Structure 1
Amino acid sequence: MNSTIIDFRVRVPSVARPPISAGGDVYTQYEAVLDIGDGWHKDMDELLAEMDESGIGHAVLHAEYEHGDYADALNEEVAEQVRLRPERFSGFGTVTLEPFSVMRAVRQIERVAALGLKGINVQPSFFGHTIDDRLLYPIYAKATELGLAVAIHTGVNYSRRHPIEAERPVRLDQVACDFPEATLIACHAAWPWVPEIVAVARRHPNVLIDFGGLAPKYLGVPGSGWEMMLRFMDRLLRHQVLFATDWPVFPHGRALEEWHGLGLRAETLDALLHGNAARLLSAREQAVLV
C-alpha cells in the first residue's frame, strides 16, 4: 500500500443490507440529523469512484448494521469484495447480537478469521448491551485469541430508542483493562465524552480512535468540545488515531480537506491518514500467519 491514504472504516455496499425503511424508528432521527438520503444506496462502483477522486488507495470495509440479523450475509459480502480487490480493500466482519447466542457469535468470529478478515465490528447499544456487558466478553476473547481487532461504536448515536450512556468510554476502559492483549478501536471518537476517551487512550496503548461519520473541522472550533482531542492527537496520541469516514455517511473529499485545514503537524497527518492503519493491518496479517 506504500503511503496511500487508508480509510479505516467504510460500510460495505451490500445487496444483503436491508433497506433503511426496515429499521423503522432506528433510522428516523439519523435521517433528520445526517440527511444521507440516497447515499445509503450507493454501490461498489460509486465507492471506488469516490476513493479514486479523493486519492484514497485503500479502505477497510465493515459489516456494520444497527438492527436485525444480517451478520452472516454481510461477512460473506465483505470477504468477497476483499477477494476481488485485495489491493483496494481489507475487511472487518461482525456477529449477531439479536438474538444473541454466545456460541453462535464465537463461531461467527471463527468464520470471520477463516475468511481472512482483519477484525470485527460491534455496535452494542443498538442491541441492548453496554460496551462492557459481560455477555460480550467471549466475543472480545475469541477475537483477541484469533488476532482480530475489535471496532466498537462509542459515543453519541441518533436512535432515540438506544441510550448513549451504554457507550461511554469509561466502559471501554473496563474492557481494555480486562483485555490488555486486544486491539480495540473506538469508532466515532466517543463524542461528547472527548476528555474521557482521550484519558482511556492515554492509559491504554491498545486503544485506537477512529473519526468516522464526523466533520473533522469541528476539532478546530473553540467550544465544540473537541479541543482536548486536537491537542492530544497532535502529540501524545499521534499513533492511536485513524482516518475514517463511515462512508457513505461522510464524503471522502470533504473529510480530507477538513483534516488538512486543522494545522496538524505533518507527522501527525501521515500517522492519521496512513501509518497507523498500515501498521494495524500489517499486524493483523502477522497474527493470522502465526
Structure 2
Amino acid sequence: MIVDCHTHVWEYPGHLSEQFVKEIPRAKSGELNVNIKLKDHFVAMEPVDKAIVFAFKSTALGINVPNDYVAEYVQSHPEKLIGFASVDPNDLNAVEELERAVSDLELKGLKLGPIYQNFHINDPKAQPIYEKAQKLGLPIIIHQSTTFLTNAPLKYALPIQVEDMALKYPDLVIVIAHLGHPWEEDTIVLIRKQPNVYADISAIYYRPWRFYNDMIYCQEYGVTHKLLFGSDYPFTTPGESLKELYKVNQFVEGTNLPRISDETITEIIERDALKLLMRET
C-alpha cells in the first residue's frame, strides 16, 4: 500500500491570507497555482492508494482551511481519503473543536504548526490538546520546519522541541513533517531516540543533494523504518515525489559514495502509514 501522508487542500480566496499568497513563490522554484480545486487534488492522488488531507487554522496568519471543509471532501471519497483536523492552540475552544472534529466529522488525526500558529510546543495552552489527542488515539503531524512566510517565527520551529512532548505523552504518535528541514540531523537523532516520534519526507526532494544526504543519514542511523512517504501537495504531487525518491542515488552513480538501498526506498514507499499512525490492525 502507498500512502501519501501529507497533502493540503484549500479554496482561494477564502481560506488563505493575502500574505500567504504573496509570499508563496518563495516556497520553491517555479510557479505554484494557489487556485487548486478538490478535483485537482483527487486526480493528483491517482498514484497512491490512500492520502491524508489536512485542515489547517492559523489565526495569527489569517489561514483557515476548516475542519468541515476537509471532512466533507474526504467523506465523498472514503475509500481513498483520510481527513486530519486542525485547531489553533490560541483559541479558547480548541479542545472542544478537536472533540467535535472527531465525534461529529470523523476526522482521524490532528495537524499542528507552531511556526504558523504562533506557539511554543511546551506552551501550557497546548497541553490540553495533546492530552485530548492522546486520549482519543489521534496521531499528530506537526510542522517543525522552516517556512517561507515572513511573520512566522523560526524560534517555534525547532524539531528538538518535540522531545519534551514525546516524553510527556508516550502514547501519542507524533510525526515531524518534512524531516524537520533544515534541521534534519536533529530530527534523525530524535526519531531514533523516542519510540513514538516519526518523520515524513515530504517536500525535501526540491534540494536533491540535501535529500540524498538526509536519506544517507537516516540509513546510517538506522531510522529509515520511521520515515513516512508524503508529497506536500499542491507544492508537489505524489507522482513527482515518487519519481524523485526513486532517483535519490542519481548523484553517486559511478562513484564510491554510499547508496540508499533499493530495498529501503521500496519499504518507505510501500509502508502502511495508516497502520502505524492509527494503530490499525
TM-score grouping bracket, smaller chain normalisation: 0.7 to 0.9
Q: 1:125 to 1:81 in 2, by over 3 A?
A: same
The aligned counterpart of 1:126 is: 116
Q: 1:33 to 1:10 in 2, by over 3 A?
A: closer
The aligned counterpart of 2:236 is: 250
What do residues 46-73 of structure 1 show as CA deviations (whole Å, max 9, x unaligned)?
A: 1222222xx22211011034433636xx
Structure 1 residue 19 displacement after superposition: 5.4
Q: 1:175 to 1:281 in 2, by over 3 A?
A: closer
| Residue pair 1:233, 1:241 contacting (<8 A) in 2 also | no
Q: 1:269 to 1:282 in 2, by over 3 A?
A: farther
Normalising by structure 2, what TM-score? 0.85
Partner Cα separation in structure 2 for residue 65 and residue 249 of structure 1: 18
The aligned counterpart of 1:50 is: 44
Partner Cα separation in structure 1 for residue 214 and residue 137 of structure 2: 31
| Residue pair 1:105, 1:139 contacting (<8 A) in 2 also | yes
1:96 aligns with 2:88: yes
1:109 aligns with 2:98: yes
Structure 1 residue 126 displacement after superposition: 1.8
Q: 1:137 to 1:231 in 2, by over 3 A?
A: same
Partner Cα separation in structure 1 for residue 136 and residue 224 of structure 2: 27
The aligned counterpart of 1:200 is: 190
Indicate the structure with greater helix content: 1
Q: 1:191 to 1:231 in 2, by over 3 A?
A: same
Gaps of 5+ in 2: 250-259
Q: 1:254 to 1:116 in 2, by over 3 A?
A: same
Normalising by structure 1, what TM-score? 0.83
What do residues 84-108 of structure 1 show as CA deviations (whole Å, max 9, x unaligned)?
A: 111110111011345x21xx11111
Q: 1:234 to 1:30 in 2, by over 3 A?
A: farther
Structure 1 residue 253 displacement after superposition: 2.2
Give the residue type in structure 1 aligned to 2:233.
W
Gaps of 5+ in 1: none
For residues 8-47 of structure 1, the aligned pairs below 5 Å read 8-14=5-11, 18=14, 20=16, 22-24=17-19, 26-34=20-28, 37=31, 39-47=33-41
Q: CA RMSD in A?
A: 2.5
1:212 aligns with 2:202: yes
For residues 1-290 of structure 1, the aligned pairs below 5 Å read 3=1, 5-14=2-11, 18=14, 20=16, 22-24=17-19, 26-34=20-28, 37=31, 39-52=33-46, 55-66=47-58, 67-68=61-62, 70=64, 74-98=66-90, 100-101=91-92, 104-114=93-103, 115-215=105-205, 218=208, 221=209, 224=210, 227-233=213-219, 236-263=222-249, 264-283=260-279
Q: 1:204 to 1:248 in 2, by over 3 A?
A: same
